[in-house]
Amino acid sequence: MCRSIKTLRPPVTPDASEEDYRAAALQYVRKVSGFRAPAAHNREAFDRAVDAVTEATARLLAELEVRGAPARTVDATA
């Protein structure tokens, strides 16, 4: 679906940051909505979706157990 979204989980990307999560979320929301940049009347919904996907991504990566990889210390509530 979104070929430009890179894998963010360790050990593939051990140093993924909030910025990486947000970039992936933005690509996802753009793909799903069909808008690269939403019109002004859709901006708030678009931004809320990016925020929600960013938070879900951080939570997912914090909770994943990847065997053989060191534990990641990410605050999913940040």
Residue range 17-67, pLDDT digits in tens? 889 899 999 999 999 999 999 999 999 999 999 999 999 999 998 888 877
Question: φ, ψ for residue 45 (rounded to 5)?
Answer: -65, -40
The pLDDT of 6-15, averaged and rounded, is: 72
Structure-model confidence comparison of residues 42 and 4, the more confident one: 42
d(Cα 11, Cα 20) in Å, to the nearest integer? 15
Which of these, 16, 11, 14, 53, lies nearest to 31 by C-alpha position?
Answer: 53
Structure confidence at residue 15 as a pLDDT band (50, 70, 90): confident
70 token code pair:
């060191």
What is the structure's pLDDT at 66? 77
In the block, tokens 């925020």 appear at 51
